[in-house]
Amino acid sequence: MSSSVSDRMQARDVPTVRPSDLRQARDLMFEAARSGQRVLLHGAGTAQSWGAPVGDVDVVLDTTGLDQLLAYNPADMTVAVGAGMSLAALQERLDGQRVALDAARIPLGATVGGLLATADGGPLRATYGTLRDLVIGVTVVLADGTVARSGGHVIKNVAGYDLTKLFSGSLGTLGLVAEVVLRLHPLPEATATLAVPCDVAAGFAHATALLACPLEPVALDWHEGRLLIRFEGTRSGVATRVRKAVALAASGEVLEGADETAVWQALAGTVVGGDGDTVLRAGTRPDLLPQLAARLDALTTGPSVKATLTSSVGIGVHTVRLRGGQPAEHAAVLAGWRSEVLAAGGSVTLHQRIPGLDELVGSWGRAPATAPLLRALKKRMDHDERLGPGRFAPWFA
């Protein structure tokens, strides 16, 4: 876990402000605007290394004081919270229900707002999406102190533009996510995971065969030489589906309870990475997985860098962790693999880096054709370009 940005802020003695409600957040953003201060929005700090490094800022706005449970309506299956609340803390408050998101950094304290701003997701993403799909209302504070809401407290709602989507993946550059209304799902009665040992090409072929059947796995991930197939539902329903999946695979181990938890935690461990690791996430057409895995192998034939890849096979979301070796080796793998992904029409977001990587390779690949539009949106939302400056450089300021 790299927290280099936070460390740098501390080292530079950048003052931190910590609002405890929406009014204070608005006042602080307004104050920063009036004095022309550049602001770093900071939740639990679990994703401050995503994207490009933020340049100099004058103040850090710590969102973790915005942690109130504002309204929980179990019968409507909606909950409104301050966006600085950690998702793990929120889950504890819910009764027989959940926010259907299992991003790897949730146990580390990731906040609801941070999870929206990073568009992060875990294996459940294949069925439930990310917070962009689960947030039904949002309140944001723009750089000039404007407080704006969109959506509301009902699941079905098409009134007005959906600012949730604009803020999904914005990495703190368009405004502060202050309050969020979420859609909840029932906790499943039972879960089980079938782990099928295979190489990545066989894993993809098997996943394709499985998805052609109406077995409805909730997650389908390849990790460390195994295809992990997770089912959720009623007790007897899960048992039936696991039985059918075992028959289809002709091999594999059924994991339940602590064993099941452990195998998914190991996957999360790869995604989160450790100190000195480089971690990146890519999105591509799902069937490119075998080719991209082979390319990664070819780029890491040397003895020192070990690449670990995990992929949500059905939706083409891949996370790569590079461990060991020198920054130059990481840079070569990043540049080589990223160009392959971009050439295939995919995207790559850097999540963390080995120290020294930034001197060797850019955090983002070539700018998309939408870069002028992104710049226009940035100008309209944050006219003086004071929020998270440099995060998307060179795509926009």
Partner 1 sequence: MNAIEHLRDTLRAIVGPAGVISEPTELRTYECDGLAGYRVTPALVVLPSSSAEVAEVVAACHRAQIPFVARGAGTGLSGGALPVADGVVVSLQRMRAVLEVDPTNHRAVVEPGVTNLAISQAASAYDLYYAPDPSSQQVCTIGGNVAENSGGAHCLKYGFTTHHVLALEAVLPDGTLVWLGGDSPEVAGPDLRGLVVGSEGTLAVVTKVVVRLLRKPETVRTLLADFPSIEQAADTVTGIIAAGVVPAAMEIMDQLAIEASEAAVGAGYTLDTPAALVIELDGPADECGELFETVQKICHANGTTKIRIAADDTERARIWTGRKAAFAAMGRISPNYFVQDGVVPRTRLTEALSTIAAMGAEASLRVANVFHAGDGNLHPLVLYDESRGEHDRAEKLSKAIAELCVDLGGSLSGEHGIGTDKACSMPVMFGKEDLATMDRVRRAFDPDGLCNPGKVLPTPRLCGEKPGPYRPHPLEAAGVIERL
Shortest distance (Å) from residue 395 CB to partner 1: 7
- One of 19, 123, 252, 286 touching partner 1 (CB under 8 A): 286
Stretch that binds partner 1, among 12-20, 55-63, 209-217, 298-306 (CB under 8 A): 209-217
Q: How far is the CB of 100 from partner 1 (least distance, A)?
A: 11
Minimum distance from residue 139 beta carbon to partner 1 (Å): 8
Quote the CA–CA distance of 296 and 10 in Å, as a whole number: 36
Interaxial angle between packed helices 327-343 and 289-299, expressed in degrees from 0 to 180 and rounded to the nearest 10: 150
From the list 208, 251, 261, 265, which residue makes contact with partner 1 (rule: CB under 8 A)? Answer: 208
261 binds partner 1 (CB under 8 A): no
What 3-state class would DSSP assign to 190?
strand
> Minimum distance between the CB of residue 320 and partner 1, rounded to whole angstroms?
13
Q: State the DSSP code for 147.
A: E
The vertex-3 CA angle with 308 and 284, nearest 5°, equals: 40
Give the nearest distance from C-beta 220 to partner 1 in angstroms: 12
Q: Cβ closer to partner 1: 225 or 372?
A: 372
What is the rounded distance in angstroms from the CA atom of residue 275 to the CA atom of residue 1?
A: 5
CB 157, min distance to partner 1, A: 4
Residue from 53, 107, 233, 276 in contact with partner 1 (CB under 8 A): 233
Output the smallest distance, CB 285 to partner 1, in A: 4
Interface with partner 1 (CB under 8 A), residue from 11, 36, 92, 156: 156
d(CA 252, CA 79): 39
Which residue carries 């589906």 as its tokens?
241
Torsion sign (Cα): 120, 121, 126, 127: negative
Smallest distance, partner 1 to C-beta of residue 293, A? 15
Q: Figure out which of the listed residues 31, 56, 160, 356 binds partner 1, where binding follows CB under 8 A.
A: 160
Q: Which is nearer to partner 1, 166 or 254 (CB)?
A: 166
**Which parts of the chain are beta strand (E)?**
16-17, 39-42, 59-62, 69-73, 78-82, 97-98, 135-141, 147-151, 176-183, 185-186, 190-197, 219-223, 226-233, 253-255, 278-283, 306-312, 317-323, 347-352
Per the CB < 8 A criterion, the answer to whether 352 and 49 are in contact is yes
Site size toward partner 1 (CB under 8 A) is 97
User: Which 288-327 residues touch partner 1, going by CB under 8 A?
Assistant: 314-317
CB 7, min distance to partner 1, A: 25
Sole binder of partner 1 in the list 91, 108, 109, 133 (CB under 8 A): 133
Token pair for 184: 């909840």
Segment near partner 1 (CB under 8 A), from 52-60, 195-203, 255-263, 277-285?
Answer: 277-285
**What 3-state class would DSSP assign to 134?**
helix
Residue appearing with tokens 């979420």: 182
Interface positions, 338-357, toward partner 1 (CB under 8 A)? 345-349
Q: Which residue matches tokens 């009623």?
A: 234
Q: Is the Cβ of residue 18 or residue 185 nearer to partner 1 in the bound state?
A: 185
* Residue 332 Cβ vs partner 1, minimum distance, rounded to whole Å: 21
CB distance 214 to 222 below 8 Å = no
The piece of 8-16, 37-45, 171-179, 218-226 that touches partner 1 (CB under 8 A) is: 171-179
Q: Which of residues 365-384 bind partner 1 (CB under 8 A)?
A: 368-370, 372-374, 376-377, 379-381
Residues 233 and 301: their CA atoms lie apart, in Å, by 42
Using CB atoms within 10 Å of the CB of residue 39, give its burial: 0 to 12 exposed, 13 to 18 middle, 19+ buried.
buried
Query: By C-beta, is 5 or 143 nearer to partner 1?
Result: 143
- Output 329 or 364, the one with its CB closest to partner 1: 364
Sequential DSSP letters for 332-357? HHHHHHHHHHHHTT-EEEEEE--TTG
Binders of partner 1 among residues 23 to 82 (CB under 8 A) are 23, 26, 70-71, 73, 75-78, 80
User: Collapsing DSSP states into helix, strand and coil, what is residue 164?
Assistant: helix
